[in-house]
Structure 1
Amino acid sequence: MAKPWMRWILVLQCVLLLAMFAGMVANKFGLAPFRPAFMTFYYGFQGVIVVTGLTVLACGLIWWLRWHAEKRFALWTLALGAAPVVVVFALVGKGLGVPAIHNISTDLENPPKFIAAYELRSSEQNSLDAPSDAVKDLQRGHYADLAPLILPEEPDAVFARALATVADLGWTLIAAHPEQGLIEAYDETLFFGFKDDVAIRIQAQAQGTRVDVRSVSRVGRSDLGANAKRIAKFQKALEK
Structure 2
Amino acid sequence: MKIFVGLISLISILLVTLAGPLYKFGLIDLATAFAGFKFGVFAGIAALVLLGIQLLFKRDTASIGSALTSAMLAITAIAIPLSMMNSAENVPPIHDISTDLVNPPEFVAIAPLRADAPNPVEYAGVETATQQRAAYPELQTLRYSQSKSELVGATKQAIDNLGWELVNVNADTGIIEATDTTLWFGFKDDIVIRITDNGSKRLVDIRSKSRVGGSDLGKNAARIHKLIEELDDVLGE
TM range (shorter): 0.7 to 0.9
Is 1:102 aligned to residue 95 of structure 2?
A: yes
Gaps of 5+ in 1: none
Instruction: Report deviation, 1:101.
Output: 0.4
Q: Residue 21 of structure 2 corresponds to which residue in structure 1?
A: 25
Within the candidate set 182, 185, 194, 1:192 is matched to 185
Q: Give yes or no for contact 2:47–2:74 (8 Å, CA) kept in 1.
A: no
Instruction: Report deviation, 1:181.
Output: 0.9
Q: Residue 130 of structure 2 corresponds to which residue in structure 1?
A: 137
Separation of aligned partners in 2, 1:27 and 1:41: 6
Q: Give yes or no for contact 2:8–2:47 (8 Å, CA) kept in 1.
A: no
Tell me the TM-score normalized by structure 1: 0.85
Instruction: Report deviation, 1:90.
Output: 3.3
Instruction: Report deviation, 1:91.
Output: 4.4
Q: RMSD value over aligned CA atoms?
A: 2.3
Query: 1:106-154 CA deviation, whole Å, 9 max, x = no partner?
Result: 1111111101212322534211102211111111121111111100011
- Within 5 Å, which residues of 2 pair with 1:35-54? 36-54=28-46
Within the candidate set 43, 57, 71, 2:49 is matched to 57
- Within 5 Å, which residues of 2 pair with 1:1-240? 3=1, 7-28=3-24, 31-32=25-26, 36-70=28-62, 75-239=68-232, 240=237
Separation of aligned partners in 2, 1:65 and 1:11: 19
Instruction: Report deviation, 1:171.
Output: 1.2
Supply the AA of the counterpart residue of 2:165: T
Instruction: Report deviation, 1:46.
Output: 1.9
SS at structure 2 position matched to 1:220: coil
Structure 1 residues 97 and 64: alpha-carbon distance in aligned structure 2, compared to 1, 3 A threshold: closer
Separation of aligned partners in 2, 1:121 and 1:102: 14
Separation of aligned partners in 1, 2:137 and 2:56: 56
Instruction: Report deviation, 1:195.
Output: 1.8
Structure 1 residues 17 and 87: alpha-carbon distance in aligned structure 2, compared to 1, 3 A threshold: closer
Q: Give yes or no for contact 2:5–2:50 (8 Å, CA) kept in 1.
A: no
Supply the AA of the counterpart residue of 2:6: L
Separation of aligned partners in 1, 2:117 and 2:204: 30
Structure 1 residues 131 and 40: alpha-carbon distance in aligned structure 2, compared to 1, 3 A threshold: closer
Structure 1 residues 40 and 130: alpha-carbon distance in aligned structure 2, compared to 1, 3 A threshold: closer
Structure 1 residues 173 and 238: alpha-carbon distance in aligned structure 2, compared to 1, 3 A threshold: same
Gaps of 5+ in 2: none
Separation of aligned partners in 1, 2:181 and 2:223: 11
